[in-house]
Chains A and B, each alone.
Chain A
Amino acid sequence: MINQAPYPTVLKPYGRALVELARRREDVVCLSGDLTRQTEVDLFQEEFPDRFIHAAMAEANMISVAGALARRGFIPFVHTFGVFATRRPFDQIVNCVAYPNLPVRIVGFMPGVSSPGGPSHQAIDDVALMRVLPNMTVLDLADATEVAQAVEAIVDVAGPVYLRLKRGETPVIFDDSHRLSLDRAHVVLEGDDVAIFACGMMLPAALSAAQVLAGAGVSASVVNVAVIKPLDRASVVAVATRARAVVSAENHSIIGGLGSALAEVLAEEALARPLRRVGLADTFAQGAQNASWLFTTYGLATQDVVDASWEALGRDLPAPTAPTLTSPAGEYAPV
């Protein structure tokens, strides 16, 4: 079952899940790069001070230390914002984590333009940077139910994992009966005209877009691709095959992330479908007051998913108009 937008939200689903895990698993250690409360691991620090490691504002050292801890049987969960988790210590991730194939969990908060802090704080390339690395598993989540389950799901993955999480209020899209799978993408809605593949914070927009399209007589599948790598090729092929067009929606550059991954599969499977990629169109964004303004300005709104679907299907313009959803305090609505 899925909830309807605007979604209820919760705080610190990740932080609580990590504490739950650490109660049972003494091999779990937690590193923070001076963003402890922002990455929800103040909860871990309170309960397990001996397994909490302040690594300071020194991401390169933090990643290399985590790699060494993983070599000696610990499962390090490393926390900072997505930009600092991937750009600054990229070479350290390569040599100290990915190439040795060590079970380090790199948790990058505040994806894409969910940060109004401008290009220095907007992780628009983190999925691309992590996806290109051999051995790396890449998850992009925005639903609290999946976030809570992801901690448990990834702890025993043999190699490294990059976990991309929304900061702050996290929408509850799925109810407790939902099960996150690392192997299968989740077909949330089934439709015959257009297949919309979304990840992370773009899932709500994809679901809203599907409703708008349904109102205009267009039937859309919506696939929640929580695991971008390794990509569930079978589900991509199955869902794309029954559709006439494919749309990707990601809070990330359209280069190197989910859209690129889909394009690779479609081309390799000789599955000829028009593809439109919704995301940052090979551009840096900017600082602003509100993330919602950035989502609209940089083409990551529900309307952009509707437009991309409409265009990919070759329909005559104009595309149907997405209603503006208001999000009451404490709730989350797609832009």
Chain B
Amino acid sequence: MAKQLPYLGGMMSGRVRDIQRSADLLRLRAVRMVAPHGFGYLGQVLSSAELMASLFSRAFRPGVDELVVSPGHYIIVAYAAGPELGLLDEALLSTYGVDGSSLEAIGTESSPVADVTGGSLGQGLSSAAGLALAARLRGSEGRVFALLSDGELEEGQVWEAAMFAAHRGLDNLVVLLDANDSQVDGPVSSITTVEPIAAKWESFGWTAIDVDGHDVAALVEALDEALAAQRPAIVIARTSTSHGLSCLPEGADGHFIKISGALIDDALAELAARVD
């Protein structure tokens, strides 16, 4: 079970300020994990930090609830929260992505924290729906949270799963959508039109809550509403892949941020100042 530590221990306090500091702790750890490689999935943590800190602090119950990280490269944000969740040793974080490490950069069966293999985009919501159905069949109180990305909405399977979950009334299923408008080839909005996201999900029979994904108070309220909904629910978090790290150069590639030299020192200093 979760150790009660200062920041992610906000599950107990629920204080917005603690959750915000937890989000910056996730960012700080992500910079440390990515720095030795010189590049990596840092933008995904910068965008989803408040969303995931809110989840882990306010809603997620390790050992009871389940977490699916559908875009497998987002596993870094789950690793970053792993120590407080009691799911991995903090020392292990330094092995992120290195040869032979269990902390592979794209989540696999050996990944602590997440419950299924992600990475082949569009599959995670189906897995989450299956876990939610299994909980229902077993009469379990567990809830299933699925982290998805907006680019992933391009995959048809997401909508198969959306129909399936709504048809079966899986109200123990909550999607956290990191809508950071970023995918490999550029902004999602420049590649295809996934909007209107909330209206799509509502028309599929879901409760959809569209919020500023860096506003912790709004996220906490949205999570509460999603959990109270009598049907599957999605929290659409509008985010940026450069949020919370002002030292990043203008125009950094949010999908795969390069970070080296003095920039690492600046990033660590900026985040440490906010966390401490």
Which chain A residues have a beta carbon within 8 Å of chain B's beta carbons?
29, 50-51, 53, 55-56, 58, 60-61, 63-69, 71-74, 91-92, 94-96, 99-100
Smallest CB gap from B123: residue in A: A64
Do residues A60 and B126 form an inter-chain contact, with CB atoms below 8 A?
yes
Q: A61-B157, A95-B119 are in contact. Are A69 and B133 (CB under 8 A)?
A: yes
CB-contact partner of B134 in A64, A69, A95, under 8 A: A69
Residues of B in contact, count (CB < 8 Å): 27
Contact for A74 among B119, B137, B167, CB less than 8 A: B137
B129 nearest in chain A by CB position = A65
Q: Give the one of B109, B123, B138, B163 with max A CB within 10 A.
A: B123
- Give Cα distance in the complex from A29 to B136, angstroms: 13
Kindly count the residue-residue contacts between A and B in the assembled complex, taking CB atoms under 8 Å apart. 91
- Asked if residues A96 and B164 are in contact (CB atoms below 8 Å), the reply is no
Distance to closest chain A CB from B68 (angstroms): 9
How far is the CB of A27 from the nearest CB of chain B, in Å? 10
Q: Are A61 and B109 in contact (CB under 8 A)?
A: no
| Chain B 98-136 interface residues, beta-carbon cutoff 8 Å to A | 108-109, 115-117, 119-120, 122-123, 126-131, 133-135
CB pair B116 A100 closer than 8 Å: yes
Cβ contacts under 8 Å, B108 to chain A: 99
Instruction: Kindly list chain B residues whose C-beta atoms are within 8 Å of the C-beta of A56.
Output: 160, 163-164, 167
Q: Is B156 an interface residue (CB 8 A)?
A: yes
Residues of B participating in the A interface, judged by any CB pair closer than 8 Å: 108-109, 115-117, 119-120, 122-123, 126-131, 133-135, 137-138, 156-157, 160-161, 163-164, 167
Known A-B contacts A66-B130, A67-B130, A71-B131; A60 and B120 likewise in contact (beta carbons under 8 Å): no
Query: Considering the complex of A and B, which 9 residue pairs feature the smallest CB-CB distances, nearest first?
Result: A68-B130, A64-B126, A72-B134, A61-B160, A65-B130, A58-B160, A60-B157, A61-B126, A68-B127
CA distance A173 to B270 in the complex (A): 76
CB distance from A201 to the nearest CB of B (A): 32
Q: Which A residues lie within 8 Å of B119 (CB)?
A: 95
- Minimum CB–CB distance for A57 against chain B, Å: 9
Distance in angstroms between the alpha carbons of A158 and B9 in the assembled complex: 39
Is the Cβ of A58 less than 8 Å from the Cβ of B163? yes
Which chain A residues lie closer than 8 Å to B134 at the CB level? 68-69, 71-74
A58 and B164 in contact, given A29-B137, A74-B137, A95-B123 (Cβ under 8 angstroms): yes
Chain A: minimal CB distance from B206 (Å) = 15
By the criterion CB–CB under 8 Å, are A68 and B133 in contact? yes
Question: A55's closest neighbor in chain B, by CB?
Answer: B164
CB neighbours of B127 from chain A (8 A):
64-65, 67-68, 96
**Interface contact B163-A60, CB-CB below 8 Å:** no
Residues of B within 8 A of A91 (CB): 120, 123
* A53, A58, A61: most-surrounded residue (chain B CB, <10 A): A61
List chain A residues, Cβ under 8 A from B163: 56, 58
Contact of B131 among A50, A72, A92, A95 (CB under 8 A): A72
Complex contacts, B164 vs chain A, CB 8 Å: 55-56, 58, 61, 65
Contacts of A99 in B (CB 8 A): 108-109, 117
What CA separation (Å) do A95 and B70 show in the bound complex? 11
Q: How far is the CA of A248 from the CA of B167 in the complex (A)?
A: 46
Report 11 cross-chain contacts, Cβ distance below 8 Å, ordered by A residue. A56-B160, A60-B160, A65-B133, A69-B134, A71-B131, A73-B134, A91-B120, A91-B123, A92-B123, A96-B126, A99-B108
Measured CA separation A12–B168 after assembly (Å) = 29
Q: CA of A74 to CA of B160 in the docked complex: distance in angstroms?
A: 22
Q: How far is the CB of A275 from chain B (nearest CB, A)?
A: 37
Q: Which residue on B lies nearest to A74, using beta carbons?
A: B134
